[in-house]
Structure 1
Amino acid sequence: MRMLLRQQSACLQFLTALLMLTAMFLLSVVTRAKNKDWQHDRLKLLTQAKPLQYSTMAPPHTRHPLEVVYPYDYQFLLNEPDKCKKAPFLVLLIITEARDTVSRNAIRKTWGNESYFPAVPIIRLFLTGKDPIFTASVQDTLQEESNTFQDIIQQDFLDTYNNLTLKTLMGIQWVNQYCPNTSYVMKVDSDTFFNIDYLVHGLLRPELPVRERYISGFIVANTGPLRSKAYKWYVPKEIYPNDTYPPYCSGVGYVFSGDMAKRIYDVAQGLKVINMEDVFLGICLYELKIKITKPPPNIFNGHRIDYNKCRFKNLIFVHHYTPQELLQIWPDFQTTTACS
């Protein structure tokens, strides 16, 4: 009798386990299906059948103030069309404000000095728009600066925070139009400490074949638009109606292969541009079905880290460094003293 009870108990346990495994399998199938539907439903990109001319768009008084006017035939006010006569290994697209001569000069004397990297051809370009307040005086100064250094690219949109997307698209357009044979492109903000040597020799490595369909940076995922006007990154539903963003690289800095310039520029012509530059790039990648390459840990730092030479030798950039700080720490960073 006891033997029979033990057999019945074992049989019952087996059936229970089998039912649990079956339920878990069915749940995983349903979950995957729901996730697929969720991704599809949450990311309904607003596309245009064809690029609209400015004259066919809503007049300014009916557009949302955060709406980015694109595509539009913005004109180059400052350009360097002959900067890329020979195919460089790396083009630096540095985001800067028109009036911020101090940051540009600090970068030219530190990490943006092309002569520090004689073995690898690098091109430095500062991207800017028109100063929205002191337009004429700033433009005169900027023109003189451009004549001296020949490293400024400018189009005739207003240089505002909400036009950062236009600034980045201008840089991508420039690469696509004037430097399509570059191996790589790095977009970076001006208020960063940037270790080009580690980017080139630690991550990209010129001795290896050039990658294609490649982009890497600090990956931001599982986020969505902030709907409160109190936030700097406020995005209203009129601009972006979805509740989630696709994965994207933090806008402080990211690197991509040269072939990506044409891919991104072309796909952007048929998308509704939003005022969040890095998010918009993520939308372009989603449309292109290109996955962001996960970088080694802690090499793209969107937050500030106190300077330490040995630590900074093994990363690509650190955010929130002033021009004065760059000039102060750069001589020490350039020394060849061994790290303990």
Structure 2
Amino acid sequence: MEKRPISLCNLLCCHGRRSQKSVFVIFVIGLIYLLFILYGEVINRHHIVNRTNCFQNFLSNPKCIYFNENKRRIATIIEGSERQPGTGSGRTSTINIAVQGTNLTKLSSKTSSDLKNTHFTENTENDFTKITLKPNFSQMINASQQVSTISAPYLLQNKNLCSSVKNLSTLIIVHTACDHFTRRQLARQTWANHTFYTTIGEFRILFLLGKPKYETIQKMIRDESEKYEDVLQGNFIDTYHNLTLKGVMAYKWLSERCKNVKFILKIDDDIVVDLFKVFVDILPKYASLKRQIVCNHLYKDTMPIRRKNNSKWFVHHRHFRGKNAYPTAYCSGFMILFTNDLMPLFFSSSKVTPFFWVDDVYLYGLVPGNVPGVKYSSFQGQWQMLDGQKALRCYRNATKNCDYLAIGSSGKAETEDIWSHIVERYLHSILARKH
């Protein structure tokens, strides 16, 4: 007689009360196990939300959220403060980070003290007389226009942005397009809000713009400048090919209006910077040094000149004729740290350096190349990740070391998520120092 396979129906219907009880017990155990997994997931998500909610939504959720990490209570206190002179915001938020059992004040004051004892070093007349254009560079560059921002007036500026701040360590200058209002506002609200860092260093931010094509955009920029007092606008059309003009405008303004700062940090507006790392780990290394550029350093004769006219960086054959690579060292422009003693020297150098539209080559290669004693160095380690999603995947993997200074971001949600991880990593680093 053929044996049939035992089905669930056989068990329930044909094997009596004992079999039914066994199946019922298995079913209940499985259900309990499933509920246990779901409960754990809910708790885990609640824990993550509690840990990051303050950092992601601190402007809209002014509450204090506590969480435990390694059995130490970390309190992130978010409190509203009235408008401060120069900030331009009606209601700003201040994050004060306190760690039970950790002397954050002592840790921070050392960093602040190191930076307060440094200041802008005046260059002598002899320093400027040594600035000369390298032989044959004028013919190689073969400029097609003048650097108009050397003498052009500013359309919008806050003359007191630097001078009004005591012990100003760093000015962040941001190359931004006229209509990137959301990017600028997001920076002000998250990683570039100077009120979050008062225990470790003083900085301000300055957004660099040219003129838009439409008056409606210009009116919005004027309103933005009046509100936040952190806009520098030049008298040139804001286009990709005019970024060199924007950079020279910055050199000029910094030479005139920002002599009391030690460092200049230049970034693009799609970059999020871990300023905790900058203040604690980077700036103290260069506090006593002069004529320093720290960046993604590209060596002379290594970067190809793009000759195909479909390239974003197309360079006509009349410029650097016969050259396949740029005959100068320079920096990738997405993030560069300068000591501020270089700004007047670079502005002076831009007066003798013929215009070239590729801004990274001109501003951070050709212009510095005419100044004696400039020292290039590179940020150490895996310091940049320009793909924001890759950076976030790394942050979420507890087994990986994601020691980024500069992170690319494509939008609001991504920036807020990156910012929350930066804050959380800083809190972890405080605990690590305690141990």
Does the alignment reach a TM-score above 0.5? yes
Match of 1:269 in 2: 351
Change (3 A) 1:145 1:111: same
194-203 or 242-251, which moves further after superposition? 242-251
Match of 2:137 in 1: 45
Matched, 1:114 2:203: no
Structure 2 distance, partners of 1:155, 1:168, is 10
Instruction: State which of 348, 366, 369 in structure 2 corresponds to 1:286.
Output: 369
- Give the drift of 1:242: 5.9
User: How many pairs were matched up?
Assistant: 280
Which amino acid letter does the alignment assign opposite residue 197 of structure 1?
Answer: F
Q: Which runs of 5+ in 2 are unaligned?
A: 1-133
* Contact 2:149–2:235 under 8 Å retained in 1: no
SS at match of 2:375: coil
* Contact 1:183–1:210 under 8 Å retained in 2: no
Matched, 1:223 2:308: no
141-150 or 72-81, which moves further after superposition? 72-81
Match of 2:172 in 1: 92
- Give the drift of 1:302: 4.8
Instruction: State which of 378, 383, 394 in structure 2 corresponds to 1:299.
Output: 383
Which amino acid letter does the alignment assign opposite residue 44 of structure 1?
Answer: N
Instruction: State which of 150, 157, 173 in structure 1 corresponds to 2:236.
Output: 157
Change (3 A) 1:157 1:147: same
SS at match of 2:349: helix
Structure 1 distance, partners of 2:162, 2:360, is 26
- Give the drift of 1:264: 0.9
- Give the drift of 1:283: 1.2
Matched, 1:235 2:327: no
Structure 2 distance, partners of 1:242, 1:179, is 41
Which amino acid letter does the alignment assign opposite residue 282 of structure 1?
Answer: G
SS at match of 1:116: helix
Structure 2 distance, partners of 1:268, 1:227, is 25
Structure 2 distance, partners of 1:303, 1:279, is 23
Structure 1 distance, partners of 2:203, 2:294, is 19
Match of 2:405 in 1: 316
Q: Which runs of 5+ in 1 are unaligned?
A: 1-41, 49-62
Structure 2 distance, partners of 1:303, 1:203, is 22
Match of 2:75 in 1: none
Change (3 A) 1:303 1:45: farther
Match of 2:227 in 1: 148
Match of 2:211 in 1: 130
Which amino acid letter does the alignment assign opposite residue 228 of structure 2?
Answer: F
Supply the RMSD in Å over aligned alpha carbons. Answer: 2.6
Structure 1 distance, partners of 2:383, 2:208, is 24
- Give the drift of 1:43: 7.9
TM-score in terms of structure 2 length: 0.59
Which amino acid letter does the alignment assign opposite residue 249 of structure 1?
Answer: C
Identical residues among aligned pairs (%): 21
Structure 2 distance, partners of 1:155, 1:312, is 41
Structure 2 distance, partners of 1:312, 1:154, is 39
Structure 1 distance, partners of 2:356, 2:239, is 14
Structure 1 distance, partners of 2:177, 2:245, is 13
Match of 1:51 in 2: none
Structure 2 distance, partners of 1:240, 1:303, is 32
Change (3 A) 1:285 1:47: farther
Instruction: State which of 255, 265, 278 in structure 2 corresponds to 1:199.
Output: 278
SS at match of 2:137: coil
Instruction: State which of 410, 417, 422 in structure 2 corresponds to 1:333.
Output: 422
* Contact 1:210–1:257 under 8 Å retained in 2: no
- Give the drift of 1:291: 3.2
Match of 2:122 in 1: none
Q: Deviations over 1:10-48 (max 9, x none)?
A: xxxxxxxxxxxxxxxxxxxxxxxxxxxxxxxx9831179
* Contact 2:391–2:407 under 8 Å retained in 1: no
Match of 1:104 in 2: 184
* Contact 1:68–1:274 under 8 Å retained in 2: no
Match of 2:124 in 1: none
**Aligned pairs for 1:179-198 within 5 A:** 179-198=258-277
Structure 1 distance, partners of 2:245, 2:147, is 9
Which amino acid letter does the alignment assign opposite residue 106 of structure 1?
Answer: L
Which amino acid letter does the alignment assign opposite residue 338 of structure 1?
Answer: H
Structure 2 distance, partners of 1:294, 1:263, is 21
* Contact 2:149–2:245 under 8 Å retained in 1: no
Query: Relative contact order: is structure 1 or structure 2 higher (C-alpha 8 Å, sep ≥ 6)?
Result: 1
Structure 2 distance, partners of 1:180, 1:92, is 14
* Contact 1:87–1:179 under 8 Å retained in 2: no
SS at match of 1:256: strand
Change (3 A) 1:325 1:313: same
TM-score in terms of structure 1 length: 0.75
Q: Deviations over 1:177-199 (max 9, x none)?
A: 10123100000001012111112
SS at match of 2:334: strand
Structure 2 distance, partners of 1:148, 1:220, is 39
